[in-house]
Amino acid sequence: MKNFICPRCHEALQKDENDLCSCSCGYRQNYSVIISQQQDIGSSVPTLSNTLLNSYKAVSNEMSSCNLDRTYFRASSAKNDLQIKVGFFKENMVPSYRDLYESVEMFDIETTAIRNQVALSLSHIAKMILKEYYGPLRVKDPNIALLSEITDLSQYKHPLDFEKVDYGEIDQIATVSLTNTVGGAMGQSLENAYDSGNLHRTMELTTRLYENSEDKEARKELNQVGVEIAADLLVNAVSSATEAIGQNMDAISEIREVDQQMDQQILEMNHHAEKLSIQMQQLNKYRKLYAKERSTLDYCVVHGLMPQFQRLLESEEYVSYKSGRRTLDVCLERMELEREIFNTPVTLSHWVGLLPGSMRFRYVWRKKTRNIDPPSRDKYVQCLKTLKQKFPRSMSRYILREEQEYQEYLSFEKAHRPSIESLESHQGLKMSMKDFTKVLRIIKNKIDQ
């Protein structure tokens, strides 16, 4: 039998010869029912495929076919080759890298959102158990401490670690201006001469002759290459082209420098792509984990917690108790939102400090209220409307209102909680609440890995 879990306590279920699955916590269910309920858990989770990574690698490999030649005798050829290389980099490599990066980043955001959803659900369920089952008068109980820990969401605000690569740098290299680097370095007469024959060799020989006019071998070979070109080059080299040859060499070395910078950039991108590929594997692992834990939680709530809890929540006594508590519940919700507002940081200009105390409090409160999440802000405004209340007018009134209302809530609970706790549907839940807290704990530990 596949390992099926108990929806009440997360233990493995045992199957007997009559196809009845059971758990030590007392849970029992037919095998066929369990199969239909649990087959979906963790199945068909979308993962990041290697398609974009592979196409980036292919483009990166192709990039090497654009590498510059080992030797150049004309700056214009070097410049052309570099332009081709830069063009390929800009048009193929940068977009390919960007697609890869953005897909991983998007997947990271979605995966984080799933984890946060699970954490939020755990927190909601823990809060519900604390409020409806235990109530505010609860005595010390280790289960309550465990549940309180689960309600804390502070650690989930940040996304998973994800190394950012600055597109700015890549774009900068991709737009290196070649005209400024090389422009005007070439002597026009040399360029014309080079365009008409076996040019690389001619240039080399010409340079040798320029450095040592007694180089007989060079002169001999140059004669073989082509007397006309050679004559032209020699005339230029010896007379007016002295400067042009020097500039040509400078231009080539500048092109080489730009080329090296680009190669460095390409290496860095390849290195980041490696990191992204590791990131992809981790994200796929986490995506599966979070999706599985989300399904497990849903399953345990629907088939484990709620069928029993519902009996308490739907009992006549509980319904009338809950309707009597309704206004106080809105007060509690408002208090929680006010604590969120209170803890929201705001930047204030120095003149706010000059306002009298209560005026300063009202100014800061309005500003903080504007800074909380819009859904929380709407809920806060709705609570105030329901309670026919306004923003607190001063720090002391804020504290006073909260204290008074909390005391009212406690008095209400003191009057009504004992009869709720004596209900059979409440007493029957005691063990289940312990078991279910364990389920919440297990799931929380898994998503916190």
Q: Is 201 or 438 the residue whose CB approaches Zn ion more closely? A: 438
Provide the residue count of the chain. 449
Phi-psi region of 135 (alpha: psi -120 to 50; beta: other; left: phi over 0): left
Question: Which one-letter amino acid corresponds to residue 383?
Answer: C
The CB-of-10 to Zn ion minimum distance in angstroms stands at 7
The CB-of-432 to Zn ion minimum distance in angstroms stands at 9
Question: Which one-letter amino acid corresponds to residue 185?
Answer: A
Q: How far is CA 421 from CA 135, 174, 357, 417, in A?
A: 10, 72, 46, 6
The CB-of-434 to Zn ion minimum distance in angstroms stands at 11
The CB-of-308 to Zn ion minimum distance in angstroms stands at 12
Q: Is 210 or 436 the residue whose CB approaches Zn ion more closely? A: 436
337: tokens are 């939102």
Count H helices and E strands in the chain, helices first: 20, 3
Q: Is 143 or 369 the residue whose CB approaches Zn ion more closely? A: 143
Q: Is 23 or 251 the residue whose CB approaches Zn ion more closely? A: 23
- Contacts of residue 273, Cβ cutoff 8 Å, sequence gap at least 6: 53, 56, 57, 60, 97, 100
Please say whether the beta carbons of 254 and 79 come within 8 A: no
The CB-of-435 to Zn ion minimum distance in angstroms stands at 6
Please say whether the beta carbons of 427 and 347 come within 8 A: no
Q: Is 31 or 406 the residue whose CB approaches Zn ion more closely? A: 31
157: tokens are 């605000």
The CB-of-6 to Zn ion minimum distance in angstroms stands at 3
Q: Is 25 or 222 the residue whose CB approaches Zn ion more closely? A: 25
Could you give the angle at which helices 326-342 and 316-324 cross, rounded to 10 degrees?
50
Q: Which of residues 133-162 bind Zn ion (CB under 5 A)?
A: none
The CB-of-13 to Zn ion minimum distance in angstroms stands at 8
Q: Is 27 or 101 the residue whose CB approaches Zn ion more closely? A: 27
Could you tell me the sign of the dihedral formed by the alpha carbons of 183, 187, 192, 195, in that order? negative
187: tokens are 């002597």
Residues facing residue 22 across a β-bridge: 14, 28
Where do the H-state alpha helices sit in 388-429?
Answer: 395-421, 424-427
| Element at 22 (helix H, strand E) | strand 20-22
Q: Mask: binding to Zn ion, 4-43, rule CB under 5 A, as x and -?
A: --x-xx-x-----------x-x-x----------------
Q: Is 387 or 442 the residue whose CB approaches Zn ion more closely? A: 442
CA nearest 384: which of 427, 341, 420, 344? 341
The CB-of-24 to Zn ion minimum distance in angstroms stands at 6
Q: Mask: binding to Zn ion, 193-222, rule CB under 5 A, as x and -?
A: ------------------------------
Could you tell me the sign of the dihedral formed by the alpha carbons of 389, 391, 393, 395, in that order? positive
Q: Is 6 or 193 the residue whose CB approaches Zn ion more closely? A: 6
d(CA 328, CA 334): 10
d(CA 118, CA 445): 12
The CB-of-5 to Zn ion minimum distance in angstroms stands at 8
User: Applying CB under 5 A, what is the total number of residues that bind Zn ion?
Assistant: 7
d(CA 150, CA 129): 11
The CB-of-446 to Zn ion minimum distance in angstroms stands at 18
Q: Is 11 or 402 the residue whose CB approaches Zn ion more closely? A: 11
Give contact residues for Zn ion (rule: CB under 5 A).
6, 8-9, 11, 23, 25, 27
